């Protein structure tokens, strides 16, 4: 938390690629961050909610009732892609290329293969440029992508590379984390006694979100972020030299035994204030309202589909630098067995 909240000593300028707003510091970050935040206001989320609900219901309706399915591959990944495409106004034909891109990106992240990562980034940029081009010169009202392409809130229009970078971070940040988050939440629904009852109670959205985020704290899908040390300093007794690249391990911080006591206990109310699933400081996740909305709608659709969700085999864990599960076999259960 000290590092994330001290941008003067710990810079986000760590990648040689343009990353908006992630890779910026200081005033420049604040300007781009203000632009980005306008897309995640309560009003913007309320406008998207019906479409998000429709995506969640349609996908859950198509899940098999008589055999197991994988909560990540059959549900999390397609839901993340479809919900995001619906939010951005992207055509359904892009679903397959986006799913292929997501799978290739997760694989390249797992192996850390730089060449593969660069190839995957290029294939994604081609997808993004195909949605940007037809919106050039629009009036910004067609959809969220049109609004961004024609955004002049910085006092000027955005360059092509800036638009692509922002969209890359909205999708790159979202699709992988959200697909994994769905796996974590469904796994918790299948294994954690009393969670389904808690989530069926629709009287408090805040309590619902806290329960979901406590599941994510325990199995953090967003494992780490990077920073560059600008000034020699010390963190928790550990000396850090200027110029070093360091990693903020959110998953470990989310299980800090000095803060969460004991770290493995499921305590949504007690742990909410210290939960770091969406980060902290100036780079705290701007997409949190959208991620919350999407998870809420999907969980409601799942809970409406059957009285219970049961594990149908052993889940396979993801490996760092990814978190959560690679696969979670589950099935709908219509009567207690």
The residue ranges that bind ligand HEM (CB under 6 A) are 4, 21-22, 33, 169-170, 173-174, 177-178, 181, 221-222, 225, 250, 277-279, 283, 285-287, 290-291
- Cβ 144 to ligand HEM shortest distance, Å: 10
Q: How far apart are CA 51 and CA 30, in angstroms?
A: 30
Which lies closer to ligand HEM via its Cβ, residue 295 or residue 312?
A: 295
Closest approach, Cβ 337 to ligand HEM, in A, equals 32
* Residues 120-150 as b or e (16 or more Cβ within 10 Å = b): beeebbebbeebbeebeeeeeeebbbbbbbb
**Least distance to ligand HEM from the beta carbon of 302, Å?**
16
Q: CB of 13 within 8 A of CB of 228?
A: yes
254 contacts 217 by C-beta, under 8 angstroms: yes
CB of 219 to ligand HEM, least distance (A): 11
Question: Exposed e or buried b for every residue in 24-60, given b needs 16+ CB within 10 A?
Answer: bbeeebeebbebbeebbeeebbeebeeebbebbbebb
The Cα–Cα gap between 236 and 144 comes to 43
State how far the Cα of 333 lies from the Cα of 286, in Å rounded to an integer: 36
Q: Specify the residue, 81 or 178, whose C-beta has the smaller distance to ligand HEM.
A: 178
Q: What are phi and psi of 245, to 5 degrees?
A: -90, 130
Q: How far is the CB of 13 from ligand HEM (least distance, A)?
A: 11
The minimum distance between CB 177 and ligand HEM, in angstroms, equals 4
Of 4 and 164, the one with the shorter C-beta distance to ligand HEM is 4
Residue 158 DSSP label: P
The smaller minimum CB distance to ligand HEM, of residues 88 and 312, is found at 88
Query: Measured from the CB atom, is 313 or 320 closer to ligand HEM?
Result: 320
| CB of 35 or CB of 312, closer to ligand HEM | 35
CB 325 within 8 A of CB 81: no
CA nearest to 175, candidates 293, 53, 84? 84
Distance CA 186, CA 192 (A): 10
Residues in the chain: 337
DSSP string, 37-53: HGGGSHHHHHHHHHHHH
Task: Classify each residue of 254-293 as buried b or exposed e, where b means 16 or more C-beta atoms within 10 Å of its C-beta.
Answer: bbeeeebeeeeebebeebbeebbbbbbebbebbbebbbbb
CB of 285 or CB of 327, closer to ligand HEM: 285
Quick one: 259 or 306, whose CB is closer to ligand HEM?
Answer: 259
Residue 298 CB, nearest approach to ligand HEM (Å)? 11
The residue number whose beta carbon is nearest to ligand HEM equals: 287
Minimum CB distance to ligand HEM, residue 217 (Å) = 10
């Amino acid at each position: 938390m000290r590092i994330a909240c001290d941008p003067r000593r710990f810079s986000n300028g760590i990648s040689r690629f343009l990353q908006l707003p992630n890779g910026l510091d200081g005033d420049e970050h604040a300007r781009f961050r203000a632009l980005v935040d306008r897309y995640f206001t309560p009003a913007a989320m309320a406008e998207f909610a019906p479409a998000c609900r429709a995506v969640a219901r349609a996908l859950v309706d198509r899940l098999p009732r008589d055999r197991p399915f994988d909560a990540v591959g059959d549900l999390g990944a397609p839901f993340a892609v479809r919900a995001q495409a619906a939010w951005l106004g992207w055509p359904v034909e892009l679903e397959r290329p986006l799913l292929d891109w997501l799978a290739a990106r997760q694989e390249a992240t797992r192996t850390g293969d730089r060449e593969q990562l660069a190839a995957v980034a290029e294939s994604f940029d081609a997808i993004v440029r195909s949605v940007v081009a037809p919106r050039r010169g629009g009036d910004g009202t067609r959809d969220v992508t049109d609004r961004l392409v024609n955004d002049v809130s910085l006092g000027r229009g955005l360059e092509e590379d800036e638009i692509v970078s922002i969209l890359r971070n909205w999708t790159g940040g979202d699709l992988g984390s959200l697909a994994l988050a769905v796996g974590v939440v469904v796994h918790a629904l299948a294994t954690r006694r009393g969670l389904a009852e808690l989530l069926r109670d629709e009287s408090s959205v805040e309590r619902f979100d806290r329960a979901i985020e406590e599941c994510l704290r325990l199995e953090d899908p967003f494992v780490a972020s990077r920073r560059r040390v600008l000034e020699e300093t010390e963190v928790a007794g550990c000396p850090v030299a200027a110029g070093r690249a360091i990693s903020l391990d959110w998953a470990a911080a989310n299980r800090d035994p000095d803060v969460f006591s004991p770290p493995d206990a499921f305590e949504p109310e007690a742990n909410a204030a210290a939960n770091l699933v969406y980060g902290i400081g100036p780079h705290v996740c701007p997409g949190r309202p959208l991620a919350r909305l999407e998870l809420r709608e999907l969980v409601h659709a799942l809970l409406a589909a059957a009285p219970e969700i049961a594990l149908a085999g052993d889940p396979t864990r993801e490996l760092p630098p990814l978190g959560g599960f690679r696969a979670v076999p589950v099935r709908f259960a219509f009567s207690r067995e």
